[in-house]
Structure 1
Amino acid sequence: QLYGDTDRQTLQALAEKLKEDLLARDEISRVAVSGWLDPMMVVEIDEARLQGFGLSLSDVEDAINTGSTTPLTAVLRNDSTYLQLQASEQAYTATDFAALPLVTTADGRQIRLGDVTHISDTFDDSSAVLSRFNRHDSIAVQVITAGNGDISKTVDAARAVEQEWRRGGVLPTTVALTSWYDRSTNINERLDLLVRNAVTGIALVFVLLALFLNLQVALWVAAGLPFIFFGTLFLMSDSMLGLTLNAFTTFGFIMALGIVVDDAVVVGESVYTERSRHGDTLANTVRGTMKVAVPTLFGVFTTVAAFFALSHIEGRLGVLYSQFAIIVTLCLILSIIESKLILPAHLAHINTRKRGPGNPVAALWQRCQHGADSGLVWLNERCYKPLIHRAIIHRYTVVILFIALFILVMSMPFTGAVRFSFFPDVPGDTARAQLTMNNDASFGMTHANLLRIEEAAYAADQQLGGDGAQAYILNLQVMSEADQSGQITLELSDEAPYDINEFTRRWQQLVGMPEGARTVVVQNTPRQVDALRVELRADSDDTLMQAGTVLRAELERLNGVSGIEDNLQPGQPQLNLELTAQGRALGLTTADLARQVLQSFSGQVVQRYQRNADEIEVKVRYPETERRNATDVLNARVRTDDGSVVPLSSVARVSFGYTRDSIIRIDGKRAVYISADIDKEVLSATELVSGLRNELAPDLERQFPGLDIHFAGEAEEQAETASSMEKMFALALVAIYMLIAIPLRSYVQPLVIMAAIPFGVVGAVLGHWLNDLPLGILSLNGIIALSGVVVNDSLLLVARFNETRAEYSSLHAAITEACSGRLRAVLLTSVTTFAGLVPLLGETSLQAQFLIPAAVSLGYGILFATLITLILIPALLRIQYDIHEVLIKIPGRGLAEQTC
Structure 2
Amino acid sequence: MNTSIRWFVGNPVAANLLMIIILIGGFFGAYGIGKEVFPSISVNYITVNMPYPGAGPKEVEEQIVVRIEEAIYNLEGIKSLSSEARKGRGSVTIEIDTNYEMTKMLNDIKSRVDAITTFPRDAERPIVTELLEREEVIRIALFGDAEEPVLKEYGERIRDDLAAMRDIDFVEIWGVRQPQVDIELSEIDMRRYGLSFDDVVSAIRRTSLNLPAGTIRADSGDIQVQTRGQAYYEEDFNRIAVTSRDDGTEITIGDVAVVKDTFEERNSLTRFNGKTAIFLAISVGEDPDVMATTKAVKDYVATGASFLPNELQMDTWQDFSVLFEGRLSLLTKNAIGGLILVFIILMLFLSPQLALWVAVGIGVAYMGALWVLPGVGLTLNMLSMFSFLLILGIIVDDAIIVGESIFRHQEEGYDRLTAAQAGAQAVSKPVFLAVLSTMIFFSPIFFLPGIWAQLLWAIPAITIIALGFSLIESLWILPSHLAQMKPEKERTSELSALHRVRRWCATGLTRVGQNVFRPLLQKALDWHNLTLVVFFLAFALSLTLVGSGYVRQVQMPNVASDFIRMRLEMPDGYSKEAKLEIIKRAERASTQLAGDPIIQEAVKTDRLIANQLSFMWGDTLRLVVELSPEVSGKVQPKLVAERWQYYMGPVPDAKKIDVDITLGPPQSQFSISLTASNTDQLAEAAQFVKQQLEQLPGTRNIRDDLHSGRADIDISLLPNADSLGVSLSQVATQVRQGFYGAEAQRVPRGRDDVRVMVRYPKDARSQVDTLEDMRIRTAAGVEVPFYSVAEATYVPGYSRIKRKDRERSIVISALPSTGKLTVSEIADIMYGDVAEEMRLLFPEVSIKKDGQIEDQEEFNSAALKLFGLAILLIYTLMAIEFKSYLKPLGVLSAIPFGIMGAIFGHLLMGLDFSLLSLVGVLAVSGVVVNDNLVLIDRIIQLREEGEDVHTALLRGSVDRFRPIILTSLTTFVGLTPILFETSVQAQFLIPMVASLAFGVLFATTVTLLFVPCLYMAGASLKQKIRGYASNSNTMLN
The TM-score bracket by the shorter chain reads over 0.9
1:820 deviation in Å? 0.8
SS at 1:91 equivalent: coil
Does the C-alpha gap of structure 1 residues 134 and 515 become closer, same or farther in structure 2, counting only changes over 3 Å? Answer: same
1:359 to 479, 493, 514: 493
Q: 1:801 to 1:84 in 2, by over 3 A?
A: same
**Higher mean displacement: 313-322 or 716-725:** 313-322
8 A contact 2:339–2:974 mirrored in 1: yes
User: Partners in 2 of 1:643 and 1:815 — Cα distance?
Assistant: 108
State the secondary structure of the residue aligned to 1:495: helix
Question: What's the CA shift for 1:814?
Answer: 2.4
1:176 to 283, 301, 313: 313
Deviation at 1:124, TM superposition (A): 1.1
Distance 2:835 2:649 in 1: 28
Specify whether residues 892 and 715 from structure 1 end up closer, same or farther in structure 2 by C-alpha distance, changes over 3 A only. Answer: farther
Mean Cα deviation higher: 608-617 or 654-663: 654-663
Q: Distance in 2 between matches of 1:417 and 1:154?
A: 45
Q: TM-score, normalised by structure 1?
A: 0.92
The one-letter code matched in structure 1 to 2:614 is V
Q: How does 1:191-202 map to 2 (within 5 A)?
A: 191-202=328-339
1:140 aligned residue = 279
Which consecutive unaligned segments of at least 5 residues does structure 2 have? Answer: 1-140
Q: Deviations 1:15-52 (Å, cap 9, x if unpaired)?
A: 11111111111222221211111111221114323322
Aligned to 2:511: 378
Q: How far, CA to CA, are the matches of 1:531 and 1:143 in structure 2?
A: 31
Cα distance, 1:508 vs. partner?
6.6
Bigger drift between 738-747 and 293-302 goes to: 738-747
**Residues 637/551 of structure 1: CA separation in 2 closer, same or farther (3 Å cut):** same
Q: Shift of the alpha carbon at 1:836?
A: 2.8
Letter in 1 for 2:523: R
Is the CA contact (8 Å cut-off) linking 2:978 and 2:993 kept in structure 1? yes
Letter in 1 for 2:627: L
- Report 1:706-725 matches (<5 A): 709-725=847-863
The residue aligned with 1:39 is 179
Alignment of 1:82 onto 2:222:
yes
CA contact (8 A) 2:394 2:926 kept: no
Match of 1:746 among 884, 893, 898: 884
| Paired amino acid for 1:189 | G
Q: Partner residue of 1:165?
A: 304
* Counterpart AA for 1:732: A
> In the alignment, residue 610 of structure 1 is paired with which amino acid?
P
Structure 2 match to 1:898:
none
1:407-418 to structure 2, matched below 5 A, reads 407-418=540-551
Alignment-derived partner of residue 401 in structure 2: 266
Tell me, in whole angstroms, the C-alpha distance in 1 between the residues paired with 2:708 and 2:274: 35
Q: Is the 8 A contact 2:449 2:858 kept in 1?
A: yes
The one-letter amino acid of 1:735's match is L
Residue equivalent to 2:917? 779
CA distance in 1, matches of 2:676, 2:746: 48
Which of 517, 522, 536 pairs up with 1:389? 522
Q: Identify the residue that residue 481 of structure 2 maps to in structure 1.
A: 346
Query: How far does residue 383 in structure 1 lie from its aligned partner after superposition?
Result: 0.4
Query: Which amino acid in structure 2 is aligned with residue 81 of structure 1?
Result: G
Partners of 1:423 and 1:714 within 8 A in 2:
no
Asked if residue 878 in structure 1 is aligned to residue 1016 in structure 2, the reply is yes
CA shift digits 1:199-240 (9 cap, x unpaired): 112111111111111111111111112221121112111xx2
Shift of 1:694: 6.0
Within 1, Cα distance between the matches of 2:1008 and 2:854? 41
> Alpha-carbon deviation of 1:540?
4.7
> Do 1:422 and 1:686's aligned partners in 2 also have CA atoms closer than 8 Å?
no
Match of 2:764 in 1: 626
SS at match of 1:843: coil
**Are residue 296 (structure 1) and residue 435 (structure 2) matched?**
no
Counterpart-to-counterpart distance in 2, 1:316 and 1:826:
38
Matched position secondary structure for 1:891: helix
Secondary structure in structure 2 of the residue aligned to 1:421 = coil
Name the structure 1 match of 2:348.
Answer: 211
Q: 1:263 to 1:182 in 2, by over 3 A?
A: same
Structure 1 position 286, deviation (Å) = 0.6
Separation in 2 of the partners of 1:675 and 1:50?
52
Please name the residue that 1:762 is paired with. Answer: 900
In 2, Cα distance between the equivalents of 1:615 and 1:577?
A: 33
In percent, how many aligned pairs have the same letter? Answer: 32
CA distance in 2, matches of 1:503, 1:551: 34
Judge which range, 260-269 or 839-848, deviates more.
839-848
Q: Is the 8 A contact 1:529 1:713 kept in 2?
A: no
Which residue, 257, 260, 263 being the options, matches 1:117? 257
Q: Match for 1:437 among 541, 548, 570?
A: 570
The 2-side partners of 1:672 and 1:80 are apart by 73
CA distance 1:471–1:284, shift in 2 (3 Å):
closer
- Residue 843, structure 1, aligned to residue 981, structure 2: yes
* C-alpha distance in 2 between matches for 1:806 and 1:676: 62
Is the 2:197–2:742 Cα contact (8 Å) retained in structure 1?
Answer: no
Question: Against the structure 1 CA distance between its residues 357 and 867, is the aligned structure 2 distance closer, same or farther, given a 3 Å change threshold?
Answer: same
| Cα deviation 1:282-325 (Å, max 9, x = unaligned) | 12211111001101111111211221133433344343122212
Question: Residues 809, 641 of structure 1: CA spacing in aligned structure 2 closer, same or farther, 3 A cutoff?
Answer: closer
Match of 2:145 in 1: 5
Q: Residues 430-487 of structure 1, C-alpha deviation per residue, up to 9 Å, x if partnerless?
A: 3322333344444444444444455555566765523877342222212223x22242
Tell me if the contact between 1:445 and 1:516 (Cα under 8 Å) persists in the aligned partners: no
Check 1:121–1:429 CA distance in 2 against 1; reply closer, same or farther (3 A cut).
same
One-letter amino acid of the structure 2 residue matched with residue 154 of structure 1: T
SS in 2 for 1:130: strand
Q: Are 1:579 and 2:717 an aligned pair?
A: yes
Deviation at 1:578, TM superposition (A): 2.2
Equivalent position SS for 1:420 = coil
Question: Is the partner of 1:87 in helix, strand or coil?
Answer: strand
Whole-angstrom CA distance in 1 between matches of 2:412 and 2:854: 60
* Contact 1:786–1:861 (8 Å) recurs in 2: yes
Contact 2:390 2:923 in 1 (8 A): no
2:612 is aligned with what amino acid? L
Q: What amino acid sits opposite 1:146 in the alignment?
A: G
Q: Distance in 1 between matches of 2:424 and 2:184?
A: 90
Contact (CA 8 Å) 2:681, 2:845: kept in 1 or not? yes
CA distance in 2, matches of 1:461, 1:735: 60
Which digits, 9 at most, give the CA deviation of each residue in 1:73-116, with x for residues without a partner?
A: 53222676211223312333322322333333223443332222
What are the superposed Cα offsets for residues 814-833 of structure 1, whole Å, 9 maximum, x if unpaired?
22211111111111111122
Aligned mates of 2:819, 2:380 — CA distance in 1: 32
Q: Deviations for 1:475-534, whole angstroms, at most 9, x for unmatched residues?
A: 2212223x2224223322243342234444665787798455433322234447972211
CA RMSD between the two structures? 2.9
Within 5 A, what are the aligned runs for 1:402-801? 402-454=535-587, 463=596, 465-466=599-600, 470-481=606-617, 483-496=618-631, 497-504=634-641, 514-525=651-662, 526-527=664-665, 531-537=669-675, 540-553=678-691, 555=693, 561-570=699-708, 573-659=711-797, 661-662=800-801, 664=803, 671-678=809-816, 684-693=822-831, 697=835, 700=838, 709-801=847-939
The gaps in structure 1 that reach 5 residues or longer are: 896-900
Distance 1:160 1:484, change over 3 A: same
Q: What is the letter of the counterpart of residue 337 of structure 2?
A: T
| Distance in 2 of aligned mates of 1:68 and 1:51 | 24
Choose 774-783 or 680-689, whichever is displaced more. Answer: 680-689
Shift of 1:582: 3.1
Specify whether residues 501 and 310 from structure 1 end up closer, same or farther in structure 2 by C-alpha distance, changes over 3 A only: farther
Q: Give the letter aligned to residue 385 of structure 1.
A: R
- Residue 360 of structure 2 corresponds to 223
> SS at the partner of 1:879?
helix
Answer yes or no: is the 8 Å Cα contact 1:521–1:562 preserved in 2: no
What letter is aligned with 1:331?
A
Segment of structure 1 superposing worse, 328-337 or 446-455:
446-455
Q: Does 1:94 align with 2:229?
A: no
Q: Give, in whole Å, the separation in 2 of the partners of 1:894 and 1:217.
A: 57
Match of 2:94 in 1: none
